[in-house]
């Protein structure tokens, strides 16, 4: 997954703190400057840490520089419903913003399973499915925060995501082992679904162009080569998925 450094984040503007639904939660919108015409939309969900939209800024800026409108919402895994209402409200906002244009649903860590759950159970969104799903460093044997059922269980029950699924998992991930994405890729292939799996030489935080800071107990931006390379690769993957879904 080679980095494409042809697009610089200096060409990206950010609108911060947009309220996206009745729950009053906020999101940040990243878009390229001076790119004409309506843009494909990527909705990018963070992981289990409550209200951590800021940690996805490096990846969101890199992806927006590829010609995308990237929406990154806060959501709270510690809410009574596990974050389901926040996630689905942000999805409703993204669908309205897309207004029929391609919309890719992507997530990191706990956000990855939540994204795939929507495609596997489109009844949760009135039958809607995204152009593609991109799962970053996820665990798909756990209940998805959007649906309450594990994606692997849904696949075993005969459900089909109906759209391409693109997986990225760092080979050095010590938080969630890469085997979780391998297991999902095998299950998707067995179900006849379109799936890709990339395994860059980075860790759990590196796939989103960050590193874990123990003092802050959160992920922070990094200039480490392995993370920059992986993050730019993910940005290119998101752009490709928004194009025709096949990345």
pLDDT at 2: 36
pLDDT (average), residues 103-111: 98
Using CA atoms, how far apart are residues 109 and 242, in angstroms rounded to an integer? 21
At 44 the three-state DSSP class reads strand
Residue at token pair 């080569």: 225
- Domain contains 3: no
Fill in the DSSP letter of residue 224: -
Query: What stretch of H or E contains 196?
Result: strand 195-198
Using CA atoms, how far apart are residues 41 and 55, in angstroms rounded to an integer? 19
- Domain contains 46: yes
pLDDT at 34: 87
Using CA atoms, how far apart are residues 164 and 188, in angstroms rounded to an integer? 10
- Domain contains 2: no
CA dihedral sign of residues 219, 196, 43, 156? negative
Fill in the DSSP letter of residue 11: G
* Chain centroid, CA 7 distance in Å: 20
- Domain contains 222: yes
Number of domain units in the chain: 1
**Domain holding 22: CATH number?**
3.40.50.1820
- Domain contains 84: yes
* Ordered DSSP codes for 146-192: TTSS-HHHHHHTT----S-EEEE--TT-SSS-THHHHHHHHHHHHTT
Confidence at 151, pLDDT banded by 50, 70, 90? very high
Tokens of 197: 């799996």
- Domain contains 78: yes
Q: What mean pLDDT is reported for the chain? A: 95
- Domain contains 189: yes
- Quick one: which of 65, 62, 44 has its CA closest to 53? 44
Tokens of 97: 């913003």
Question: In the chain, which ranges are continuous DSSP H helix?
Answer: 57-64, 84-98, 110-120, 151-156, 179-190, 225-244
> Would you say residue 134 has pLDDT above 80?
yes
pLDDT at 244: 84
> Would you say residue 73 has pLDDT above 60?
yes
| Phi, psi for residue 53 in degrees, rounded to 5 | -60, -30
Range of the domain at 226: 9-244
84 beta partners: none
Q: What is the pLDDT of residues 155-194, one digit of tens each?
A: 999 999 999 999 999 999 999 999 999 999 999 999 999 9
> Would you say residue 239 has pLDDT above 70?
yes
Confidence at 35, pLDDT banded by 50, 70, 90? confident
Query: By the 8 A CB rule, do 119 and 128 touch?
Result: no
- Quick one: which of 52, 31, 25 has its CA closest to 98? 31
Query: By the 8 A CB rule, do 206 and 136 touch?
Result: no
Q: Can you give the pTM of this predicted structure? A: 0.95
- Domain contains 4: no
Cα atoms in the Cβ-side hemisphere of radius 13 Å centred on 43: 33
């Amino acid at each position: 997954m080679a980095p494409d450094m042809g697009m610089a984040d200096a060409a990206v503007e950010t609108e911060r703190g947009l309220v996206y639904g009745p729950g009053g939660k906020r999101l940040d919108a990243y878009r390229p400057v001076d790119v004409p015409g309506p843009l494909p939309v990527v909705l990018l969900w963070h992981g289990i840490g409550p209200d951590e939209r800021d940690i996805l800024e490096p990846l969101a800026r890199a992806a927006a520089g590829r010609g995308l409108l990237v929406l990154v919402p806060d959501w709270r895994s510690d809410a009574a419903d596990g974050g389901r209402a926040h996630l689905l409200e942000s999805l409703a906002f993204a669908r309205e913003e897309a207004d029929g244009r391609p919309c890719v649903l992507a997530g990191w860590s706990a956000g990855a399973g939540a994204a795939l759950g929507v495609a596997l159970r489109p009844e949760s969104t009135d039958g809607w499915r995204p152009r593609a799903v991109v799962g970053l460093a996820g665990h798909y044997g756990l209940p998805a925060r959007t649906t309450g059922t594990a994606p692997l269980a849904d696949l075993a029950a005969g459900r089909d995501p109906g759209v391409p699924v693109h997986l990225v998992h760092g080979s050095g991930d010590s938080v969630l082992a890469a085997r979780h994405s391998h297991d999902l890729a095998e299950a998707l292939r067995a179900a006849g679904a379109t799936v890709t799996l990339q395994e860059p030489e980075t860790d759990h935080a590196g796939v989103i162009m960050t590193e874990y800071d123990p003092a802050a107990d959160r992920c922070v931006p990094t200039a480490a080569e392995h993370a920059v390379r992986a993050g730019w690769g993910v940005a290119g993957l998101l752009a490709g998925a928004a194009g025709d879904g096949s990345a």
